[in-house]
């Protein structure tokens, strides 16, 4: 049985300087910035960019030991993850674990905009960090 996905939620891009990236996406590329927030517990600051009916999440570290700090040190700026929206994150994680998927998270963690998120390891998804996202309310536009 396939994963019960509601579609691609967003594409995450790791950036070293959130303000500079925001200026690039807004002023140079002409996209709308649709809000952002700081996730203190994860050491991240995020901004969402509206691209038609889709979104790009700009992600920057707020401290040296965040998950994105390590990514930037190893890979530099660029594509960080693809996020897939699911209705029931707990059920999706149970199902993936039962199938033998290589998970980073077996329990959800807090995400931006009051979401719950969990990650599938890139080694389990052909080199792509896959984020599963459950919205507690409709995603912001």
pTM: 0.86
**Three-class secondary structure assignment of 48-91:** EEEECCEEEEEEEECCCCCHHHHHHHHHCCEEEEEEEEECCHHH
State the pLDDT at residue 116.
Answer: 95
From the first residue on, what is the mean pLDDT of each consecutive set of 10 residues in the chain (141 residues)?
79 97 96 92 95 93 94 95 94 94 94 92 93 79 53
Residue of 81, 129, 84, 82 lying closest to 102 (CA atoms)? 129
State the pLDDT at residue 6.
Answer: 81
State the pLDDT at residue 138.
Answer: 60
State the pLDDT at residue 1.
Answer: 54
Domains, the chain: 5-135 (3.10.180.10)
pLDDT per position as a tens digit, 14-49: 999 999 999 999 999 999 999 899 999 999 999 999
**Are 105 and 97 spatial neighbours (Cβ–Cβ below 8 Å)?**
no
């Amino acid at each position: 049985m396939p994963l019960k996905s509601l579609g691609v939620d967003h594409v995450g891009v790791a950036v070293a300087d959130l303000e500079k990236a925001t200026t690039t996406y807004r002023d140079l590329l002409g996209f709308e910035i649709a809000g952002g927030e700081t996730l203190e517990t994860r050491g991240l600051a995020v901004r969402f960019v509206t691209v038609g009916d889709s979104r790009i999440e700009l992600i920057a570290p707020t401290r040296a030991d965040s998950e994105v700090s390590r990514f930037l040190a190893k890979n530099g700026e660029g594509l960080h993850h693809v996020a897939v929206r699911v209705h029931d994150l707990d059920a999706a994680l149970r199902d993936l674990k039962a199938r033998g998927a290589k998970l980073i998270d077996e329990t959800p963690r807090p995400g931006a905009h009051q979401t719950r998120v969990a990650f599938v390891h890139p080694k389990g998804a052909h080199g792509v960090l896959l984020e599963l996202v459950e919205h507690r309310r409709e995603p912001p536009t």
